[in-house]
């Protein structure tokens, strides 16, 4: 006896079979939309669907639904709803429902689905589901484990959801990664989600593009091995958030609590040059070149209102929190890079008062430029020791200063105090003079010895130079000691 092509689901209805153009035969429940139109089965399908609901039979696996044969379900916390491998060609509205066990594995929602403010009292399974349009779970509550493994999405909205059990979003992928969304702020929205204690919401090996997260509660948000692009973790408490093996170069952390966030084997965008070695978070790069990122479709930062409230002060706070985080976890190399960025923000803040006015003149800009590059402590702190991160640079500056003053003393006519070596010829005479000058430079640094040496010096210019040397070298030595201490702290 012929069987329905979809008999594997064990929910076929009736003995009559209807063949498609390829010869495959289906019962009225599993007949594709094209077959139903061919044999005018829409009313018959709706009748079978309603009868199954009245009989409390909620297994509709393998079915197809469109505008004429819409899927609906009134819910029920004790009802077991099985809708595997279904095709929905209309918007499915299951909002404000109380749902029991729900299995939508392998189904395709072409026009979106709405679970807003629904409550899942039992396990919810959305394994290998395709959300072709908006999948709205806003305000929903998951009492038991839920799974979205290998799901494909266009837009996901979980704002305000409450997770009272573990939830796994594994191997999810965006089916339109290059799509520019003009209707919604985020393609993946997990803002204000609540995760109960002892439970975890995990994103493993997912592609999360144009997404936002701000978890609350005592549970953990774990993001491991995933791709984050244009991701916002702004204004969030991330103290119970764990990032494992993530590229965070396109992630916003502005005004978030990150001092206790765990970063394991994560990568950041680094800026390296002769005088710079630091990590630059995305909001700083975005703020410097808004037009470039807007043209590339990175509108989240602007739409979320962060650009207007972003300042060097807020960036400094974020860098400071990230630095403290890595210092607590004894990753001093990364902490130094965040420390460098923190000090860079302070350097810029020092000169900002000249360019915060509405009408900035060329003289105001000149004052700003000189302030952040010459006439303040921070630029010299940067050039001399890399904000305390490079003891070798400090040591080079000290040695260079000693050599420079030795040369000045030698050519300024410093009296021959004591020769260390003989004078067989003019070249050796020059070497001997330089060595004497160098020892004189060293002696200047020690107050007791310098008084004795200077008492033999009659030139006023040399005495003035020695005072300048004393001030400069003793200004450099603490920076060297501080950088050396920071290095051995690693």
- Cα 290 to Cα 426: distance, rounded to the nearest angstrom: 63
Highest mean pLDDT among 12-16, 139-143, 183-187: 139-143
Confidence of residue 418 (pLDDT cuts 50, 70, 90): very low
**pLDDT single digits (tens) 228-285:** 888 888 788 899 999 999 999 988 887 889 989 999 999 999 999 888 889 999 888 8
**Domain regions of the chain by residue span:** 56-291, 308-380, 391-489
- If we measure between CA atoms, which residue out of 103, 69, 102, 116 comes closest to residue 88? 69
The pLDDT value recorded for residue 471 is: 87
User: Quick check: 297 and 228 in contact, CB under 8 A?
Assistant: no
**pLDDT single digits (tens) 218-229:** 999 999 998 888
| CA quadruple 365, 369, 372, 374: dihedral sign | negative
Going by C-beta distance under 8 Å and a sequence separation of 6 or more, which residues neighbour residue 57?
11
- Cα 56 to Cα 79: distance, rounded to the nearest angstrom: 8
Task: Dig out the tokens for 17 from the structure.
Answer: 């079979």
Share above pLDDT 90 across residues of the chain, in percent, rounded to a whole number: 47
**pLDDT single digits (tens) 441-482:** 787 777 655 555 555 554 555 667 778 888 888 888 888 988
Confidence of residue 17 (pLDDT cuts 50, 70, 90): very high
Query: Is this model's pTM higher than 0.85 or not?
Result: no
Task: Dig out the tokens for 255 from the structure.
Answer: 């005004």
The pLDDT value recorded for residue 462 is: 66
The pLDDT value recorded for residue 421 is: 41
| CA quadruple 10, 14, 18, 19: dihedral sign | positive
- 3-state secondary structure at position 268: coil
């Amino acid at each position: 006896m012929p069987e329905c092509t979809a008999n594997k689901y064990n929910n076929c209805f009736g003995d009559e079979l209807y063949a498609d153009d390829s010869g495959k035969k289906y019962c009225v429940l599993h007949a594709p939309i094209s077959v139903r139109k061919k044999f005018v089965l829409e009313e018959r399908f709706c009748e079978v669907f309603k009868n199954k609901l009245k009989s409390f039979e909620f297994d509709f696996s393998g079915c197809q639904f469109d505008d004429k044969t819409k899927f609906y379900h009134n819910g029920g916390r004790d009802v077991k709803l099985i809708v595997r491998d279904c095709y929905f060609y209309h918007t499915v509205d299951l909002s404000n429902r109380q749902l029991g066990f729900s299995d939508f594995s392998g189904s395709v929602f072409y026009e979106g689905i709405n679970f807003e403010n629904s409550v899942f009292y039992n396990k919810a399974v959305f394994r290998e589901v395709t959300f072709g349009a908006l999948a709205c779970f806003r305000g929903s509550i998951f009492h038991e484990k839920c799974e979205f493994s290998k799901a494909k999405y266009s837009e996901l909205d979980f704002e305000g959801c409450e997770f009272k059990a573990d939830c796994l979003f594994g191997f999810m992928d965006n089916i339109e990664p290059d799509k520019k969304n003009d209707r919604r702020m985020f393609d993946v929205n997990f803002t204000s989600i609540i995760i109960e204690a002892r439970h975890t919401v995990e994103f493993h090996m997912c592609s999360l593009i144009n997404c936002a997260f701000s978890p609350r509660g005592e549970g953990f948000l774990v993001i491991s091995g995933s791709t984050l692009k244009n991701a916002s973790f702004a204004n969030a408490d991330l103290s119970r958030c764990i990032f494992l093996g993530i590229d965070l170069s396109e992630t916003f952390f502005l005004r978030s609590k990150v001092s206790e966030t765990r970063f394991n084997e994560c990568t950041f965008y680094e800026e390296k040059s002769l005088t710079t070695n630091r990590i630059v978070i995305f909001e700083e790069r975005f703020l410097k070149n808004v037009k470039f990122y807007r043209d590339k479709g990175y509108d989240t930062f602007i739409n979320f209102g962060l650009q207007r409230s972003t300042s060097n002060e807020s960036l400094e706070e974020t860098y400071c929190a990230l630095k403290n985080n890595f210092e607590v976890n004894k990753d001093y190399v990364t902490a130094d890079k965040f420390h460098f960025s923190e000090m860079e923000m302070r350097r810029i803040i020092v000169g900002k008062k000249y360019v915060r006015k509405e009408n900035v003149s060329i003289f105001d800009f000149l004052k700003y430029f000189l302030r952040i590059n010459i006439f303040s402590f921070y630029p010299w702190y940067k050039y001399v020791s890399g904000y305390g991160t490079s003891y070798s640079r400090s040591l080079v500056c000290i040695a260079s200063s000693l050599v420079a003053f030795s040369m000045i003393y030698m050519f300024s006519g410093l009296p021959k105090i004591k020769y260390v070596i003989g004078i067989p010829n003019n070249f050796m005479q020059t070497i001997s003079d330089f060595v004497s000058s160098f020892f004189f430079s060293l002696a200047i640094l020690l107050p007791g010895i310098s008084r004795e040496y200077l008492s033999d010096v009659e030139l006023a210019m040399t005495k003035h130079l020695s005072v300048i040397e004393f001030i400069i070298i003793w200004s450099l030595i603490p920076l060297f000691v501080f950088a050396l201490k920071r290095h051995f702290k690693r």
